[in-house]
Every structure is written in structure tokens, then in C-alpha cells.
Amino acid sequence: MKTISQSFGEPALQHAARTHVPGLSASASLALGKDFLWGAATAAFQIEGAANEDGRGPSIWDTFSHTPGKTVNGDNGDVACDHYHRWAGDVDMIKDLGVGAYRFSIAWPRVQPLGYGAWNDKGLDFYDRLVDRLLEKGIQPHATLYHWDLPQGLQDLGGWGSRTTAHHFAHYADVMSRRLGDRLASLATHNEPWCTAVLGHAIGKFAPGAADPVLATQVSHHLLLSHGLALSAMRASGAKCPLGIVLNQSSTTPASGSAEDIALARREYASFVRWYMDPIFKGSYPQDAGLELFPEVQTGDMDIISAPLDFLGVNYYTRIWASAAQPAVPAPCSLGKSDMGWEIHPDGLRELLVGLNAQYTLPPIYITENGMANADRIEHGEIDDTPRIDYVRAHLEAIAQACSAGVDVRGYFYWSLMDNYEWDSGYDKRFGLIHVDYATQQRTFKRSAHWYRDVALAAVTKTEA
């Protein structure tokens, strides 16, 4: 049994037995190209733990997850994967996975506890060390500034419902780009602003738990404004790395050819995809998103929001199935569902990418998240997650088809590197290539990790040949 020793605790990585499974088709490998970037992704709150250590302030997710009834089993992120202590060994683990890039997020309350005012040197030093070790191991660091963990200090002042938060975010972005930007391969402002706005403020499923659709619409505007202000601030101070944003997106399929289903599909696409894409790439909000009340937009906001991007990150998990019938006609789910209950529909990714390429003038695209929750179990020291392999292979084939159709996709980051805290689902759902035993913090390569490693290394070998 191969292990990797870590600087904290017992040796924490195991490799399950390897069984050969087919990689990608020759046509997909060719379409993805020799310079295609292979990576894996995480988010700070989901893996770091150390919630009350070294000067870190509380985030809205600390508050939310400690509120009874908000998460499965009352799970919180106090320890998570203990990455804050195990970061060095985790980077070694990424190297062992064979990927060339790692996408992570910076915990705003770890580096600036209140979201304004004093900075925390110990938090800043943590990300310095992480980035340096990634580079030492030949792994590109791709950072995201905001992955949902707003400092509670800012929430107490109105959170994303306050326009002032957008300006605090721009200052935070500027400081972090000055600190890390000369060593990062890319820096994204936000991860999935739709989730912050809708899940966090319209339906209360995510932190901060508001259920106010009008507020959510204004929050969406402040998020986009903060993105534009951050780009402006970082470029004004000479940001040295490519800058972009990460959006969760889906293709939309009407359940039938009825006018009602087609109209619903168009509204769903407008509210989910175009509500964020149109302001960034066209300088306006779509008028057909089904909203009765649009956000308050000040003069000049759209010019700020529509600043050019160096890259666009696209997160895709499933399509939107639009049925106006009562009760709704269920999606066919011919390839089954993930453990999240989401339809597995890889062709939706091809359809999405080709559609975006036709509708907008786009910068290079990275698939910054794509993955599958599976009910993984360790049996005889092994984790056979073949459904995850099938999921990833099918989505990579879909990306290859999009590339063949002219879409400029430069890389793929599997979600997630390892099992972690899955927000309101707690620790009940496992997305990782690497299994985490939360009681011991032992990491074990799943079958999918070996498969993904073989695919990534085969691509590198082909490049070097």
C-alpha cells in the first residue's frame, strides 16, 4: 500500500487497487488538443476547517451551518477536510493525481476577518504557502476570490443586499491580486453568483438563508457590480494574471413542442444563464427572464460590469428540463441520476457550449466544475466508483465535440478533488476523486482517481512526445 506522509497527523493517503478501464476516444483526445489543461477543484469553506484558528473571522456559512435545521445532520465546516493543517500533504496528493492545475478559493474571512478593516497576516501567509508549494510541484494555481463565504461582519451591515459590499469586495480583490497575482495562473472574481443570489437570498436554501426574491434580484446586480469593480481595481494596480468569472450554467430543454413548454424553457434559460451572461458580454439584462421587478441599476453600472474578461469559467452538472404541465412531466433520465438526484445528461454540456459560442463573443473557456456525487463505499480497501468514470468520460467527450464545433475550451477541472462539506447537504454527499474518512482524515484514491490520472498523464505524454 502506497502512502504519502503529511506534516500533520498520520500518513493520510491510500491507493485502492487499480483496474484498467478505457480512457477517452481518439477523436476526443485529438479535439481536446495537446495543450488542454487537466485539473481538479475545491472551495475553501468545504475543505479548510480551522474555523476558529489563527485570526479567521466567522463567515455567513459558519452562522448558517450552526443554525439548527439548516443542514443535513446539523453538519458544519468547523473541521471539514482539515486542509488548513494538511495542505502540504494535500498538494503532494494533487501532484500524485497527475493533473497540471488546481483550482481553489480564498476564504475572505481568513484574510480579512470582518470583510473590511484590518487584515490577518496568518491567513495571508497560508495562501502564500499554498501557492508556493503548488508551483514547486509544477501545478498551476487557479484561485477564486469568492466561493460563498462572505465575512459575517459584512452581512451584519447588509451583506450583498448593500451596494457598499461591492466596493469592499473590490478592495479585497485588489489586495489579493497584489499579494498573489504574480504567481497565479488565473484569478476569478466569483463562483456561481446565481447560487449566492437565488439559493442564498430568494429561497433560503444556502447562507445567509433569506427568502426574498426582490432582495435576491438586487443581490445579483451587486454581485455583478462587485465583479466589474474588482476587475477595474485589479487592472488599475497592474494585475499580472488572467482575470475572469465562474458561472454555473445549463442547457434548457422543453419537455414537449408545446408553446407553453418552449416559453418556459426560454424563461428558464434567460433567468439562469443570460441573466449573468448578458450584462457581462452585452451590457444589459435580458427582458424576458420573467421578472416583474428589475434591480436598481445606477448610471455607469453596466459599463463597469461589461469590462472584458480574460477567460470565462463554466460550471456544468445537468440540464434544465422545462415542463409547464401540472404535474410536471419528469425528465427522461436515460443515463440515470447522480446521488444529488440530478439527471446525468452530458450532451447538455455540448449544447450549452455551442449555444454560448453562437450567442456571445467569448474569451477562452475553462470548464471549472463538472462532477458527480456518488454513494461511494470502501469495500476491501477499495472504492469502485465506475459510474463517476462513465460520467466524466461522457462529459469530456461532449467537450471534445464542442471543441470540434469551434468552441475554444482550454481546460477541465473535475469537482471535486476530494470528498468535502457539501453545503446544506453536509457530509452526506461525496463528489471527490479521493475519498475522505472524516473520522481519521485518511484520503484514499478512488477508482476514478486512477482513471483520471491515466487520462491526464496520457495527454501530457502525448504533448511531450
- The residues that are catalytic are 192, 369
413 strand-pairing partners: 39
Residue in the structure block whose three cell numbers are 476514478: 448
The span from the CA of 60 to the CA of 114, in Å, is 11
What are all long-range contacts of 391-394, with beta carbons under 8 Å and residues at least 24 apart? Answer: 391/338, 391/344, 391/346, 392/448, 392/451, 392/452, 393/22, 393/23, 393/24, 394/335, 394/344, 394/346
The span from the CA of 366 to the CA of 245, in Å, is 10
The span from the CA of 64 to the CA of 72, in Å, is 12
Grid cell listed for 270: 434567460
Residue in the structure block whose three cell numbers are 496520457: 458
User: What is the sign, positive or negative, of the torsion defined by CA atoms of 42, 47, 53, 56?
Assistant: positive
Three-state helix/strand/coil letters over 81-123:
CCHHHHHHHHHHHHHHHCCCEEEEECCHHHHCCCCCCCCCHHH
Q: How far is CA 411 from the centre of its chain?
A: 14
Q: With beta carbons less than 8 A apart as the criterion, state whether 58 and 411 touch.
A: no
Grid cell listed for 233: 481595481
